Amino acid sequence: MQAWTKPDIPVVPGPARRLRLYDTASRGLVEVPPTDSATARMYVCGITPYDATHMGHAATYVTFDLINRMWRDSGYDVHYTQNITDVDDPLLERATATGVEWTELAAQEIQLFRDDMTALRVIPPQHYIGVVESIDLVSDAVEDLRRAGAVYSVDGDLYFAVKTDPLFGGVSNYDRETMRELFAERGGDPDREGKQDPLDSLLWRHERPGEPSWDSGLGRGRPGWHVECSAIALKYLGMTFDVQGGGTDLIFPHHEMSASGAQVATGEHPFARAYVHQAMVGLDGEKMSKSKGNLVLVSKERLAGADPMAIRLALLTHHYRTDWFWMPSDLADAQARLDVWRGAAGRGSGPDGAAAVDALRAALTNDLDTVAALAAVDAWAESEGDDHEAPALVAVAVDALLGVKL
Ligand code: 5CA
Ligand code: ZN
């Protein structure tokens, strides 16, 4: 699938710093990629295209964009893959409810997402991969699991037996009770009769009347959710890539299951060196979600005249590991900050530019501390100085590292 337009990414003078990120699996900070690697590999779970990009999605993709930018600043060759869940229950349900062809709905929403990402200056993945274009890849991945003895059938639907992975549970660290609850909440079927373990997850859904399906060696049907991400990540990045990313709502079951499936299929581990999760953005006291409909949409704000750079700055105001609620005043506050920064970047001189850039790098490489990063730029913008190169230098760093074009 075609991704979107790549923004210009200027090179920032001065020494880069090594990025440390919080890893959900080991519950601590890790440095990725390893020091002897020239490449950095990242997989971020993409959208299910049945509604427009909301601020929660945007926060997620901007967070992983910062990782991409910090790695590039360090000179890594970044390999970035993102999927699109362009066939799944919620998409099919929405298409039926609104009387739109499911393929049409997906195509529209994917295009809107591309436009939003372009406006927000998010660097596109090299591999932007839909499930519909990956049916053979996914069915081959299920075959690999079958050869590993990890697959069984319930009335023609194929399931992954979690007991075949001795490391199952190692991504989320949740206890079984929590896993069961979250599994039921997030698309799983713990109570289905005939399963060997309530947590076993669907790999291949046998064809149903009125649903799209494809021929495969597994019989006619369509892929389950988790195996799509393990199959796409393994093909385009390979095992033991650096960062597996998404929102905290994907920790379990999605990232747990994708990692397990890949580990059992390959006999290797870990799936990813770090599992990085964006906290939830909400509205009016609840998680922003397409199913609840409590959305602030990037495209709507853009149409209403919001500067995409102010939207991006509003998202960066919060640390990615803190849940937060979108407030009506957020955009105006971000616009005011952007105006101050733009004014400061347009001056003839300012305080020490190299020091400001180093403060920015120090904050961002410290587990993407955007709160400290924004404070560093504020402090620079609000003071006077006689460094004539500083305004241009800081503008370049804010563009390359924060993705905010002044
Ligand atoms: N297609 C799957 C992943 S394979 C999916 O979760 N799609 S999604 O459209 O529901 O979400 C897209 C991305 O946005 C995911 O990484 C998800 O974790 C993240 N996300 C969804 N809602 C929020 C929210 N309210 N706050 C922050 N991130 C969110
Ligand atoms: Zn995914």
Can the peptide bond before residue 166 be classed as cis, meaning omega within 30 degrees of 0?
A: no
The residue ranges of every structural domain in the chain are 20-283
Could you list which residues have their CB under 5 Å from ion ligand 2? 45, 229
The span from the CA of 370 to the CA of 319, in Å, is 6
| Second-level CATH architecture of 20-283 | 3-Layer(aba) Sandwich (3.40)
Amino acid code (one letter) for 144:
D
- In this structure, are residues 406 and 377 in contact, taking their beta carbons and an 8 Å threshold? no
pLDDT in the model for residue 288 = 84
pLDDT in the model for residue 292 = 80
Please write down the HEC assignment for all residues of the chain. Answer: CCCCCCCCCCCCCCCCCCCEEEECCCCEEEECCCCCCCEEEEEECCCCCCCCCEHHHHHHHHHHHHHHHHHHHCCCEEEEEEEECCCCHHHHHHHHHHCCCHHHHHHHHHHHHHHHHHHCCCCCCCEEEECHHHHHHHHHHHHHHHHCCCEEEECCEEEECHHHCCCCCCCCCCCHHHHHHHHHHCCCCCCCCCCCCCCCEEEEEECCCCCCCECCCCCCEEECHHHHHHHHHHHHCCCCEEEEEEEHHHHHHHHHHHHHHHHHHHCCCCCEEEEEEECCEEECCEECCCCCCCCCEHHHHHHCCCCHHHHHHHHHCCCCCCCEECCCCHHHHHHHHHHHHHHHHCCCCECCHHHHHHHHHHHHHECCCHHHHHHHHHHHHHCCCCECCHHHHHHHHHHHHHCCCC
pLDDT per residue as tens digits for the range 112-141: 999 999 999 999 999 999 999 999 999 999
| Structure-token pair, residue 23 | 């890893």
The span from the CA of 285 to the CA of 22, in Å, is 26
| Ligand 1 centre distance from Cα of residue 48 (Å) | 8
pLDDT in the model for residue 76 = 98
- Residues 6 or more apart whose Cβ sits within 8 Å of residue 93: none
Closest C-alpha among 375, 406, 367 to residue 70: 367
Q: Is the CB of 60 under 6 A from ligand 1?
A: yes
For ligand 1, mutation pick of 51, 232, 249 (most atoms within 8 Å of CB): 249
> How far from the centroid of its chain's Cα atoms is residue 295's Cα?
18
Amino acid code (one letter) for 9:
I
pLDDT in the model for residue 23 = 98
- In this structure, are residues 388 and 399 in contact, taking their beta carbons and an 8 Å threshold? no
Residue ranges at the known binding site: 45-48, 60, 83-85, 225, 229, 247-249, 254, 281
- In this structure, are residues 53 and 11 in contact, taking their beta carbons and an 8 Å threshold? no
Nearest CA to ligand 1 atom 23: 56
Looking from the CA of residue 250, the nearest atom of ligand 1 is 18
The span from the CA of 90 to the CA of 290, in Å, is 9
Looking from the CA of residue 287, the nearest atom of ligand 1 is 25
Q: Is the CB of 288 under 6 A from ligand 1?
A: yes
The span from the CA of 171 to the CA of 260, in Å, is 9
Can the peptide bond before residue 270 be classed as cis, meaning omega within 30 degrees of 0?
A: yes
Q: Is the CB of 377 under 6 A from ligand 1?
A: no
Residues of the chain short of pLDDT 50, as ranges, are none
Task: Determine phi and psi for 246, rounding to 5 degrees.
Answer: 165, -170
| Ligand 1 centre distance from Cα of residue 68 (Å) | 18
pTM, full prediction: 0.98
User: How large is the angle between the packed helices 390-397 and 330-345, nearest 10 degrees?
Assistant: 140
pLDDT per residue as tens digits for the range 157-187: 999 999 999 999 999 999 999 999 999 999 9
CA distances 215 to 100, 136, 219, 221, Å, are 24, 9, 6, 7
